[in-house]
Structures are given as structure tokens and as C-alpha cells.
Structure 1
Amino acid sequence: MRRVPIVERGDWQAQAAECGFRFHTIDGARYWDERSYYAFSLAQIEHDLEDPSVELHDMAMGLVDEIVGSESLMERLAIPAHYRDWIAESWRNREPHLYGRLDFAYDGKGPAKLYELNYDTPTSLFEAAFFQWQWLEDQRASGRLPRDADQFNSIHEALVERFGELMASLPPPLVFAAVRESEEDQGTIAYLRDCAAQAGLHGAAMALEDIGLSEDGRYTDLDDTVIGSLFKLYPLEDLFADDFGRALPKSGLRLIEPPWKAVLSNKGLLPLLWDRHRGHPNLLAAEFDTGGELPAGWVRKPLHSREGANIELHLADGARLHSDGPYAGPAIRQAAHPLPAFDGHYPMVGSWIVGDTACGIGIREDDSRITRDSARFVPHAIVEADAPATFYA
């Protein structure tokens, strides 16, 4: 694994505008950054990232039945009592799921270490599935990358295929919804709508704020039509905390992601995985936090924190890092395993699962060991030949 400087495409911003990638720059700072890329060998991709992703996904899925069947585990994960039967029923009915993302620390040498699972509302999807593939094709055509350079990326094809598989199980009409003012989330649902349409599954787009609730407890669109299926790019735990969400269990609404994903998108899953697979090379030791002073060599994470918010690190050498944010409540501790540094940049590898298949990666790079919402997206390539590079340090 190497970080390789490369000349950026002169027209990348025009290409981004043409395909609707409007959040390539956020608050004047680059989000998409193609001035470098991460180079992997095929063996690193297949053995260190793809295979562990499949194994860890299977391990996580294997815990769902135990969790939804246990009041004490649901309590431990801070799942509100009002929603537990609904979540368990969605699992018993095997309501189908679309996708998820596993986040890893990986340096190209040792085993990739799982930081967390983003299995409810994973983002950075369009840039991973589409725009970085376009970058690869352009850079091969320009001669800046070898003709045989490749990429671990069949995410787009997997999404289209998966939507085709979901079609028969989703009651119409289908609606895709995200927060109105989030350009990234709106861009993500626009991309997913396109993937679904390519599979023959058509759905309307709505702002989440425009969804109504009828007198008999059904969710409706702007025409007061009852919504049959809803892809919502909005955290389930936030719906649980909102009075608007209390109608969900009896509404008849089919959700993507399904309610049972609430137990996999919860960081409380990490101590459970460790307890049942203690010593697994891709897992970090984890336990439920009991409060108080964070010992050296550990990281504290709230069960529902996102985008690197409210993370507290106390490294083995005594160094401390902390990120602000809106999250509080129960937390876990995870053994500290800092992200590797490549010339002062800290990449985190996001491994995409569509259905139950590992099908690609995207890399978010920060200037800090905490990957925050301001982290840049940097493309990757599979390049076997030696190339000038900044090596892991």
C-alpha cells in the first residue's frame, strides 16, 4: 500500500458538475482530492480487505438473531423498548437489506483492523462507486496510470443487481428521502434512485421533512398518498428519538435499510463481536464503557456517534485526542489502534458490502488520526508495478 502523487485531471470539476457531484468541495475545501491516490497490490485487496470484509459481515449477521431475541442485549444497545418487537419482527421476516460499509485501519502490512460498521446510513457512496472509477479510466487513458491498473470496485453493478433482487419485495410506491439541506445526502439518494431505475425499480425523491403522517398512522407523500416503501438516508436512532417516528411499528411502512439494521449500525455490536470472536485478527478488543477516566491504550465512542464526532483517544504513549460533537449517552471502549500515517495523512479504508457481497473500497483521508466529516475522499488503484510513491511511515 502506497500513497502516490499524481497529476489531477484538468476537467475534473466540469466532470463532477456534469454528473451531479456538487459536494466535491465543501465550505471552500476539497472533499474530492485526486492529487494523490492509494496504490494496492491485488493480494492486499483480496486477502487483507475483501476476504476479511466477507468474514466480518457474516460474523455480524450471525449475531442479529441472538440480539433481537434478547431483551438484555437490546437494552445494552440502548434500543428503545417501543421499537424492539418491530425490529425483531423485521428480522424474523428477513426483510431484505441493501448495503453497508465496514471501516478499517490498514497499513498494507498487518491485518486490517475493524473500527466500526456503518450499516444503516453509509455515505461516500457515489464517489466510491462512480466518480473514482471514472478517475481510473481517465488516468489510464492519459498514460498517468498503467493500462493494466485496476480498482476494487464493482459497487455500481452490485447496487443495480441488488435493486433488481429487492424489487418484488418492496410495496409501492417507493420513495427516496433525505434531509433537504444536506447536499451530500441528496446527492447520494439521487445516485441510488438512478441505480434502482437501471434495475427497473422507479421511485420518487422527497425531502424527509415533507413526509406526512395520516390520522390512521400511515406515512404519506406530498399528494397524501400512502408510501409503501421508503429508502431513508436518516439514522434510525434519530427517528426513534423523534415523536414522528413512534408510528413506525404499526405504519406498515417497509424501510430500506430494514429495522433490524439498527443492531448492526450500533457501536455496541463491537464488544459483542469481540466477546464471541475474541482474538480474531481483524477485530480490536472492545467492551462496554463504564465511565470515568479513559485508560491509556483505549478509545471511547458513543454508541451512535457518526463522522468521527465525540471520539476520545488515550494512546499508549499518553497522547490524547478528542473530537467535539452532539453525541452523548452510553459508549464503548475499543483498543486504540491508530490509523497509519502516509506523509502526514491518515487514511481510513471503507469496504462496501452490497447485499452480502464485498464489492469495493473507498478511502477517506484526514490530517488527524480521527476521521471527521471534513475528511477528503482519495481514489485508489490496484497497481502491481513499482511507481514513485510516499511509503507508509
Structure 2
Amino acid sequence: MIRESRRPRDNWQAQFEALGFNYHSIDGLYWDERYAYRFSSDQIDMLEQATIDLHQMALQAVDHVIRHERLAQFAIPRSFWPLVEQSWHDKEFSLYGRFDLSWDGTGHPKMLEYNADTPTGLVESSVAQWYWLQDVLPHADQFNSLHEKLIARWKTYPAKGMLHFVCAGGNEEDEGNLSYLRDTAIQAGCATKQCAIEDIGWDPSQAAFVDAMNVRIDNVFKLYPWEWLSRETFATHLLATPMRIIEPAWKMILSNKAILPVMWELFPHHPNLLPAFFDAWRIQGDFVKKPLYSREGENISIYANGTVLHTPGQYGAEGFIYQAYAPQPKFDDGITPAFTSIGSWVIGDDAAGIGIREDESLITKNTSRFIPHYFE
């Protein structure tokens, strides 16, 4: 795993905007092709296998949580417990997820967390870096079968009729990811409609959710987290509707940081896992304190090397877990030093590709730069 300096292409911005990747320069610099990461084929094989193994362990952890009635540890509202359990027993359709890994190309990749409900970074991981590869290194390869696997996965979706795609309005990044996912569903033959979640309402006469045109919503893909949905004023209606929701309710377990200590409990000393616990006193050495619910790196505290690094935010009221500290690799060319994390994608149950993020800080945030990759 080598970080290389590269010359950015001319007019790459226009190419990406034609693809719908309009947020390529949020906060001044997001997509960054001044660099690229080069892997060997053996390293890619290791990342792929680690992703498959971690996903299967995570599913076993979900089953364990439900069978042993441990939902209280996840701060899931009690009224939603039957919905979570039923969605798991029914094996409700799941589309995707993304592991965040710490790895420098040696030893074993370490799981930092699993973004299994509303992961973003999909447009750049799928189409943007693939177009970069074709222009810059057309004879190289890339760990990236996201587009094909998304279309294939949508073809297995069991429901018929209109599939609504919703997210919070006014968020360019969320809307871009949502539009891309909707496009893959269209290519799979699904009838679709996209709208803002603010435009959805409850129609008591139909006992159903409807969109702004009063069209009944029977199937919905929501780029909007379950922990928010379950606390909205309309949350009780979610318990009474037959509407199919993607990602399903059982993802409330998998996308929660409480899954980390459960996985360590079930698979102690697994080479891809870090020690993690619900109690701080059980951690030995440097560690990271993480809220059960946290997004974009908020409210993370790293206790390492005698110092504390903390990010502010709105999370933490539901509780925390404590995970052993795995320093993210640092690459420094003397110009733009960076700590690196690898996002490894799962489509259905298959490993499907990676996206790499960089930041000057140890904590990856929404504004951390995206760097393309290739392998030989």
C-alpha cells in the first residue's frame, strides 16, 4: 500500500458533474487526485477476505443479540424491539453497508466500525474513481465492482410496485448518493420515484405513508438513519404500516457501535477485530470512546500516547462503548501529511470495493478527502 503523487487531470470537475458527482469540492477540497494509493493484488485479496469475514461475523452478532434479548444495550426504543426482531426473522432485504478499516498494507486490517444503515461515499467509490482509473491508468485494475453488484442486488428485491427513494432535502451529498442508488435500481428494472423525506406524510384514510402527490408508499429506500426515524413524531406509524423499508429495521443493531463489543465477545482475538467493551475499566492501554450513535466523526475521544483528541457534536446521550486504539496509518510527503482509513463496501453479502479517505486528524470526518486507488 503506497501513496503516490499524481498530476490531476484537466477538466475532471466537468466530467464528474456530468456524472452527477456535483459535491466533488465541498469545503474547498474533497475529491483529491493529487494522490493515489497503489496496492498489490495480494493486498486486495486480503481486504476482500477480511470484509467477507467481518460481514459474516456481524450477522452472527445480530442473531445473537436478538436471540439473547440484548436490544436494551443498543438504546433502541423499546416500542421498536418487535419490529427489529421481526425484520430479522423475516430476513428482510438489505442492500449495502461499508466497513471502516485501519490498515497500512501489512498485518491484518482492523475493523473500526460498520456503517450498515446509511453509508455515503458511494458515488466517488463506484463511478468517480473508476473514470479516474480509465483516464490515468487504463491498464491497471481497481477493487471496484460496486456498480454491477448494486444492479444485480436490486434485481433480487422481492417487492413489486413503485420504489420511493427519500432523504433529507437540501443536502447535496445525500441527494447525490440517493440519485446514484436510484439510477442503479432503474437499471435493474425497478419503477422509482425520488423525494425529500419532509414531503412524506401519513394518510389515515389509507393507513399508509404517502408522498407529496398523495401516492401511497409501499416500498422505500431511505437515506435517513433509523435512530432518527424511530424518534420522529410519526414513529408510531412505522410500527403499524406494511411498508417495506430499505435498509430494514434489523440494521438498527448492525449500524450501532454497541455491535463492536458484542462481536469481540463472540469472536475474541480475531485478527480483524479490536478489543471493545461496554465498560471503560475493561480496556487496557490506549483506547477510543465512541457514542452508540455517532456520525461524521462527532463526539469521538481518542486517549492515546498520554493525550486526548476529542471532536464535538450532538451524540452521546444514549451511552458509549470503548474500543482499543488502532492508529490509522500516516503518509507524509512533506506537503500534505494524512492519516488514512479504508472504507470497504458490502453489497448484499459480497465484498464489492473500497474507497479511501484522508484527514490531517486521526478522526475521519464528513469533509475528509477522498483519494482514488488502483492495484497491479
TM-score normalised by length of structure 2: 0.96
> Residue 348 in 1 paired to residue 341 in 2?
yes
CA 1:283–1:295 in structure 2 vs 1: closer, same or farther (change >3 Å)?
closer
C-alpha distance in 2, partners of 1:51/1:296?
Answer: 29
- Aligned runs of 1:52-201 on 2, under 5 Å? 52-71=50-69, 73-140=70-137, 147-166=138-157, 169-201=158-190
* 1:170-189 C-alpha deviation (Å, 9 max, x unpaired): 24221000111110000011
* 1:1-28 C-alpha deviation (Å, 9 max, x unpaired): 010001111010110111111110113x
Q: Secondary structure of 1:187's match?
A: helix
C-alpha distance in 2, partners of 1:179/1:356?
Answer: 27
Letter in 2 for 1:106: W
Mind listing any 5+ residue stretches in structure 2 that lack a counterpart?
none
Report deviation, 1:290.
5.4
Residue in structure 2 matched with residue 144 of structure 1 by the alignment: none
C-alpha distance in 2, partners of 1:296/1:286?
Answer: 12
* 1:128-180 C-alpha deviation (Å, 9 max, x unpaired): 0111000000002xxxxxx53110000100000001111xx124221000111
Report deviation, 1:214.
1.2
Residue in structure 2 matched with residue 275 of structure 1 by the alignment: 265
Mind listing any 5+ residue stretches in structure 1 that lack a counterpart?
141-146, 384-393
> Residue 226 in 1 paired to residue 216 in 2?
yes
Q: Secondary structure of 1:108's match?
A: coil
Residue in structure 2 matched with residue 143 of structure 1 by the alignment: none
C-alpha distance in 1, partners of 2:269/2:293?
Answer: 25
C-alpha distance in 1, partners of 2:301/2:321?
Answer: 11
Residue in structure 1 matched with residue 310 of structure 2 by the alignment: 322
Residue in structure 2 matched with residue 390 of structure 1 by the alignment: none
> Residue 204 in 1 paired to residue 183 in 2?
no
Would the aligned equivalents of 2:162 and 2:190 in 1 still touch at CA under 8 Å?
Answer: no
Structure 1 runs of 4+ aligned residues shifted over 4 Å read none
Identity %: 44
C-alpha distance in 2, partners of 1:309/1:296?
Answer: 23
* 1:226-261 C-alpha deviation (Å, 9 max, x unpaired): 101110000000111112222112111100111111
* 1:266-312 C-alpha deviation (Å, 9 max, x unpaired): 01000000011000011000001459xx9750100001101111000
- Aligned runs of 1:377-392 on 2, under 5 Å? 377-383=370-376
Would the aligned equivalents of 1:121 and 1:235 in 2 still touch at CA under 8 Å?
Answer: yes
Would the aligned equivalents of 1:351 and 1:361 in 2 still touch at CA under 8 Å?
Answer: yes
Match of 1:310 among 299, 319, 324: 299
C-alpha distance in 2, partners of 1:296/1:67?
Answer: 28
C-alpha distance in 1, partners of 2:210/2:284?
Answer: 49
C-alpha distance in 2, partners of 1:302/1:77?
Answer: 11
C-alpha distance in 2, partners of 1:246/1:2?
Answer: 51
C-alpha distance in 2, partners of 1:290/1:82?
Answer: 29
TM-score normalised by length of structure 1: 0.92
Letter in 1 for 2:309: L
Report deviation, 1:338.
1.2
C-alpha distance in 1, partners of 2:308/2:290?
Answer: 14
Match of 1:298 among 276, 287, 312: 287
Letter in 2 for 1:13: Q
Letter in 2 for 1:362: G
Letter in 2 for 1:355: G
Cα RMSD (Å) of the superposition?
A: 1.5
